[in-house]
Each structure stands twice: as structure tokens, then as C-alpha cells.
Amino acid sequence: MSEVIALGQPTVGDAELAAIAEVFASGWLAGSGPTSRRFEERFAAAVGTRHALATSNCGSALHLALLTLGVNPGDEVIVGDYTFPATGHSVLWTGAKPVFADVRPDTWTVDPAAVEAAVTPRTVGIIAVDAFGQPADYDELRAIADRHGLFLVEDAACSAGATYKGRPAGSLADVATFSFHGRKGITAGEGGAYVTDRDDLAAHARKLHTYGVEGALTRAELSHLPIPTFTELGYNYRLSDVAAAIMIAQLDRLPDLLVAKRRTAARYGELLKDHELITTPYEAPDREHPWQSYVVTIDPSVDRGAVALELRQRGVQCTFGTYASHVQPLYGQTAPCPVSADLFARHLAIPMHANLTDAQVETVAATLVDVVNSAATGR
């Protein structure tokens, strides 16, 4: 094995280093400072919302979303099942119950019919998940939410740069949340964002994410010496200004990153489209996929685990797709979500990032085909 082709890889360099140096020179490295404020303004403009709040990660942004939308212990929140469990965890953090709804077999996003069927008198809201960045069916979900008086949250952890019917991911629900983890389309290693058009939610989220008081930058701009009073339980969910500086540079890169990953996705599609044991991902025609991950579906006759092990031995990094949340023991007894469970058993993520060369893409595809063929014949 001569070369290891990475599953994911950030695109960072001189622009990010220069942004960090500028923050170091400013003397303000902590969160909620002037660089965070600049990033928030830029990010809100990029996703088409009035407000953005930089957070420590997407999980904290989800928690803030539910708190500011008034979720209480005993409430139920419907959650798209096929997702990293941070989505369900955020509901548990409020004392409410996540009710998992099955997903579409093509886009892997929550099935509106399953959402409708899951509504009970205790339901207060819906969290739709943009599967690997592809937005869910927000027009249908909004209609359900409005019909039953529910809120709608977009878990856009993977969705930076995606669109739904021409509208940017992040602008599709009452609140949306993003992740800037190292495998995401734009990254500071860790981090996240809470975005909304509602002034009241944004103000409440900003207070809660700084222990329940106004941040130091806001207090420093006043003409007197304010002494904060703690009237509500808050959290330290801030993103440092160092990370915010990286994110400003990453936003500048985003258009080029999307072009590179869409080109890679198209090439994978060409190379793998005719293989009867490998199904390539579907992009809905009214959406633009940001391709945070490239996930193929392996035929059930093939041992996915054996394929993954052999790919890694040949230098092609890979992993499973994401989780069928309802089968995780933490959540206890839940209704079955058979589509999500099937995807959980058959999905395989192969290398996808903006730094892949054409030769690497061809190597990954050829190796995957060879390994799957070998596994199918038992050689």
C-alpha cells in the first residue's frame, strides 16, 4: 500500500493562518468577540437569515434551538431517524422525548408521511435532518408544522452551500443549526452556528449561550459599568474568536469547495453507475447537494464489513453512513423505522473532500468495484 486516500480532509492554508494571526494581534481570542461578530454577519448573509450565532458545535446549537422554542420536559419532538444521535440527544437534554420518524429511501431525509403519522397531542415540534447535506422536504414539512401548530428546525449540520428550490440551507425552518466539525464542508475543526429570522429567538439564544447574560463585548460598548444579573440558566456555548477567524476564511473558500466536490460526485456517479451491487446516491432535482459525504448503498448479498476492511487494507479510507437512531439503546423502546435501519446496515461512505485528485477518485472507484466483486464471488 503506497498511498492512503483520506475519507475526509479539510482545505486550509495561508488564508486561515493569516486570519488566526490577525486575531492574535488583536488581543481578543475568547468567544463572542469582534471576529465572532464579523463571522456571524457573514454567515447570516450566506444562508439568507437575519441572524446567526456562532456556537461551540452543532449539538449546542440544537440545544439552544429547542430551549428558545420553548421545549419542556414531557414534550415530544419528532426527529428524522437517520442521523448522528446528537439530534436525538438535544431533545433529551431538554427533558423532552425524541420520537423518531422514518426516512425516504431515495434522499434519506425524513418522510413527511412518517412525520404526520407520528404527531400526538404531546408533539411540539419537528427536527428535519439534511442527510449528508441534502435538504429535506421543507415545503411539505412546513405544511405539517403549520397544520398542527408545531415548530420546525433544520438540522443543517452538513448543509453549508446546499439549496432547496433555490433557497439556501439554513433559511428553510424557524431555526437551523450547522456544524463546523473537521469532516464538514467548511470547518474550524469544531464549531457550529444557530441561525434564524426571528429577532426574539436570536436574542434569547445569544443570552443563553453566554451563561444567561450579555456577552463581554456588548458590555464593553456601554458607557457605564454594567454588572450582569443572572436570571436564567445559561451555558458556555461560544465559539472562540480564533475559530471564528478560520470560519471567515472558510466562507471565502466555500464556492470553490462546492465546485470541487460536485465534480467529484459526478465522476463517482459515472464510474459506479453500472454496477449492480453498488447504488450511488440520489440528488433530488429541486436541490443542490453540497456532498459533505459520498455514501453508496451496498447490496445486502455482500458483506459490507468485509468490504470496508479490505478497502482500508488497500489504502482507501471508508466508514458506515450514519446512524439509525431508533436502534440505539439510549433511547429505549421506539417504533421501528425500517428504511433507516436498512440504510444503516448497507451504507458505506467513501472518500469525499475538495482535495481529491481525478486519479484518486478513479482509484477509489476501481478499488471499490474490485472489492465488492470479490466479496460477492467469495474469492
Contact by Cβ (8 Å): 323, 332: no
Residue partners of 374: CB distance under 8 A and separation at least 6: 310
Q: Give CA–CA dist 280/272, Å, rounded.
A: 7
- What cell numbers appear for 176 in the block? 437551523
Known catalytic membership, residue 273: no
User: Buried b vs exposed e over 312-328: b needs ≥16 C-beta within 10 Å?
Assistant: eebebbbbbbbbbbbbe
Q: Which residue has the cell 451496498?
A: 298
Q: How far is the C-alpha of 35 from the C-alpha of 244, rounded, in Å? A: 6
Q: Long-range contacts for 198-206 (Cβ within 8 Å, ≥24 apart)?
A: 198/50, 198/51, 198/174, 199/50, 199/51, 201/51, 201/68, 201/69, 201/174, 201/175, 202/50, 202/51, 202/53, 204/67, 204/68, 205/53, 205/64, 205/65, 205/67, 205/68, 206/53
Distances (CA, A) of 326 to 81, 134, 193, 293, 355: 6, 21, 26, 22, 35
Element (H, E) at 204: helix 199-208
- The total number of residues shown for the chain amounts to 379
Annotated catalytic residue, options 184, 207, 261, 273: 184
Beta-carbon count within 10 A of 93 CB: 17
Instruction: Give the residue numbers marked as catalytic.
Output: 184
